[in-house]
Amino acid sequence: MKREIYKHKANKADLRNDLDRDIESFLAKGGQIVNVEAGETALESRVAPLRTPIFNEPRTSRTPLDDVVATLDERRKAQSRRLPKRGLKPQPKKRVIYDDFGEAVRTVWSED
C-alpha cells in the first residue's frame, strides 16, 4: 500500500516566522519602514471624499442584441408548441369488495 505524503499546513507560528524573514530580507536590501500615526490617511487631499471609479467614466454604448433576443423567443415558442408526452398508463388499483354487513369479502385489481 502506498503512503501518500501530505503538504504541511502552515500554522500561525510558521506564518509569523515567514513574515519576520521577509521583513529582515527587506531591511537587509536597504528598505525602510516608516511609522504612521493612528488615524492618518494616505490621501493627499483630505478635503474631498473618495469617488467611486466605476461611475466617473462616460457611459459606453452597448451592443444591440435585439436579433439574438428574437431568436431566443422564437425557440422558446417552438418548444412550447410541442405536444406534451402522454403520461404513464393507468396502473391497476387494488379494491376491496365488502358484503352487506360491511365486512371485507375479497380484494380485486381493477383498471379504472
Mean pLDDT of the chain: 84
pLDDT of residue 77: 87
Q: What is the pLDDT of residue 52?
A: 67
What is the pLDDT, as a whole number, of residue 105?
93
pTM: 0.32
- Position 106, amino acid: R
Copy the grid coordinates of residue 15: 506564518
CB 105 within 8 A of CB 97: yes
Give the cell for residue 6. Answer: 501530505
In angstroms, the first-to-last Cα distance of the chain is 62
DSSP code of 37?
A: -
Checking if the pLDDT of 70 tops 90, the result is yes
Looking at the DSSP bridge assignments, the partners of residue 109 are: 94
* Mean pLDDT to the nearest integer, 80-100: 83
Q: What is the pLDDT of residue 37?
A: 82
Residue 87 has pLDDT above 90, yes or no: no
- Specify the pLDDT at position 2: 62
Residues 6+ apart with CB under 8 A from 18: 10
